[in-house]
Amino acid sequence: MATPLEEAVQTGFAPAMQYLMEKGRYFPEVVSSFPTMSVNIESTLLTGVYADQHHLPALIWYHEDEQRIVNYGTGIKEVMKTGFTPFVNDMFYQLNNVHLSKDVKTIHEELAERGMTSASINNFVYRGYSERKIKLPKPLQMLTGDKSTWDMQTPSLWSLGAFSTFNPRKKTPQLFSDNYKESFRETKHLIKKRKLPYFTICTVQDLDLRVHLKGPMDIAGIHKIDRELQKLLGLYGRWDEALKACTWIILSDNGHASMGHKRKQYVIDLRKRLKGFRIMKDTRPTRNDEIALAVNQRTAFIYCIGTSVEKKQVIARLQQDRCIDIIAWGEAGQTHVVSGEKAGHFSFVAGGDYVDTYRQTWTIAGNEKLLDLTVKKNRVEYSNYPDALARLSSSLRSHKGDYVVATAKPGYEFQDKGSPIHVDGAAHGSLHKQESSVPMIVVGTDSEPEYERIVDLKPWLLRLLGGG
């Protein structure tokens, strides 16, 4: 996040990033996607569209057609609840090969069509055009009993833990590794062997894990990552030579909100809040179940799966909790918003006389303060919820189902059975700017994206590469 990054730079804890900031451009408030969860953000970055088009709604969600919970890895307890074998299949096969919409193209696919190579290093979203036959790594074969061969489509250069590496050496799958050096080692290998393609995306997950535990202002993790970045730049002899060789982009995917100190006070237990409804206990509903829950830290999807329950009943119950910030749902083509904390109702739909910061047009009605909007002479400006209209409406159209999206106030997070809790640490997932505004450093070009949003990076990258 911008504040700890700037502190690390100012106090000498991040000399490589300081050098890149001085030589390039610094964007402290790039808008992420919503919910602010990894696979949703990676999908938006690589496809250049929000979830209403790429159809990867969140880290955990309910699949209406298959009548089951899909979990890409929210926490070990929830994974055990949803089942380890389905989780492995969803995370490492279904996500890229089935769930990510075929109607959109990733940057890897776009570049391949232009005869340009690309690399993905430790990204969970990576779909490309190179066909591979992959078996699960032996540890996962032992845990799942799955020894089948998967047909995968990846970029021309693909590294993901024990599934595929550039270096011929063994290691555990990235999902089960907290070694922040692995991603850098793979990138170093490409540079040393002079195999760096036109475009490389390299993900380092470890800082996210540290911040969850230690809170948003942890800079020790930034220091560790910066040391590896120094070594990477040093491969070119001098750092200025590295800038001549490549365009460098350092980007965060989401921020974090500090969590409260008392579990009983700052954790919103949705099963207790929705007591009286028949809530699905396992990954698949029984005949009498009325509600399914998918908790993504500070955002929750509440699904009406039974004929005996209506959304208005669920919404009325959620409105009774002042810890719930935003309650939103789709109806009759419009997006509707109420709150547990504020009075009133707000609705909006794309197209109309109101124009926002990103030249998107809207028709709006009701109390715009529910989304902290400022409306002047048909101009809509955002504050605590950047690009709220597009991001919220896209989430409510990201997948099939009759559902409500709720976000928690800063300091609070949702809980279901097995959900990870971050009391005394930090969490993300919501629409709030604490999690939605992220820093980016760009060095090696004077060009910049049309808008400072992750959804706008793909067309900009293609222009930089001469491919769009």
Tens of pLDDT, residue by residue over 202-219, are 998 877 778 877 888 888
Percent of the chain with pLDDT over 70: 97
What is the identity of the amino acid at 348?
Answer: F
The model's confidence at residue 171, banded by pLDDT at 50, 70 and 90, is low
Instruction: State the chain's mean pLDDT as an integer.
Output: 91
Residues 283-326 have pLDDT tens digits of 888 889 999 999 999 999 999 998 889 999 999 999 999 999 99
Give the start-end residues of each E strand in 240-298: 248-251, 257-258, 267-269, 291-296
431 Cβ neighbours under 8 A, 6+ residues apart: 34, 35, 36, 299, 325, 326, 385, 388, 391, 392, 407
For residue 179, what pLDDT is reported? 61
Indicate the domain borders of the chain.
2-55+100-257+434-464, 263-424
Q: Looking at residues 239-261, what average pLDDT do you find?
A: 92
Give the start-end residues of each E strand in 85-164: 118-121, 130-135, 149-154, 157-159
Q: Looking at residues 397-406, what average pLDDT do you find?
A: 97
Percent of the chain with pLDDT over 90: 73
Q: Which of 29-33, 123-127, 160-164, 267-271 shows the lowest per-residue confidence on average (mean pLDDT)?
A: 160-164
User: Among 156, 182, 157, which Cα is nearest to 169's?
Assistant: 182
For residue 459, what pLDDT is reported? 97
Q: Looking at residues 150-175, what average pLDDT do you find?
A: 79
Q: Looking at residues 252-273, what average pLDDT do you find?
A: 87
For residue 251, what pLDDT is reported? 96
For residue 177, what pLDDT is reported? 47
Q: Could you give the CA distance from residue 301 to residue 280 in angstroms, rounded to a whole number?
A: 13
Q: Higher model confidence: residue 424 or residue 180?
A: 424
Consecutive H or E run containing 71: strand 68-71
> Is 2-55+100-257+434-464 assigned to CATH 3.40.720.10?
yes
- CA distances 88 to 71, 92, 124, 130, Å, are 9, 6, 12, 22
